[in-house]
Structure formats: structure tokens, C-alpha cells
Amino acid sequence: MATASLPAAKRVLVVDDNRDAADLTAQMLDLYGHTTAVAYGGREGIEAAVRFAPDVILLDLGMPEVDGFAVASTLRQMSAMRQPALIAYTAWNDVQTRQRTQAGGFDDHMVKPAKFEDILALVATTTHLT
């Protein structure tokens, strides 16, 4: 019987002010062998990215105080830090937002709610292109 091989485990940081959504996403990624950390806001997300050194960050855009665009901008300016892949994980799906995420240093854009299989596939295949 052939079994599908799991993609390589990654370090994934989930940054979202919706605690339940962030926690559930991280728990599901953990079940599939990824190592996760969670931050519930932009400032906390920046600190966690420096401390945790993720391969991928699932980053909500619409957070209070420090939004996902500001987080991405700050992280991309940290030249001493290994640059993670940034995935905008947001309910915003308009053309302007997609253009803004692309121009703002994001590597991909995923609209929520999303199927967990789609999240897994995107985490497995997204890398930061420098």
C-alpha cells in the first residue's frame, strides 16, 4: 500500500487578533508535524518572528494598532533576520488589497475562511524569494 509522504515540517508563526482562529490554525498545523507559535497582534507578531525564527508567517492584515502591512514592512526591513515567507491570511480579497500585499513584501495571499488542506498546501510550498 502506497502512502503519501508528508511535506517537510516547517516553523510557522500564526499572527491574528482572532485568538480562536489563530489557536485552531496552529493546532492543526501542529498535528501535521509543523512547529508553531502564535501571536495575537502586530507588535507581538514582530517580537515572535524575531524570537521564533519562522520559515513561514500566516499574517492577518486587519489587526488593530499594528496591522499586517506594518508587520510585513517592519520584518522586511530587518536585514539581520532570516526572512520568512509571508502569507497574507485575510478576509480581504479585493484587487487593491492583493496588489498592496504583493507590493508590501508578501509572498502569497490566502483568503479566509480557507480549507485546512489549502492552508497546509500553501505552507508547504511557499518560500520567500529574495
**Which residue ranges make up each domain of the chain?**
11-125
CA distance 110 to 114: 7
CB atoms closer than 10 angstroms to residue 123: 23
Cell, residue 33:
508535524
- pLDDT of 6 reads 58
pLDDT tens figures, 49-58: 999 999 999 9
Three-state DSSP state, 6: coil
pLDDT tens figures, 59-81: 999 999 999 999 999 999 997 77
- Topology of domain 11-125, per CATH? Rossmann fold (3.40.50)
Q: pTM for the complete prediction? A: 0.90
User: What is the per-residue DSSP string for 28-96?
Assistant: HHHHTT-EEEEESSHHHHHHHHHHH--SEEEE-S--SSS-HHHHHHHHHH-TTSPPPEEEEEES--SHH
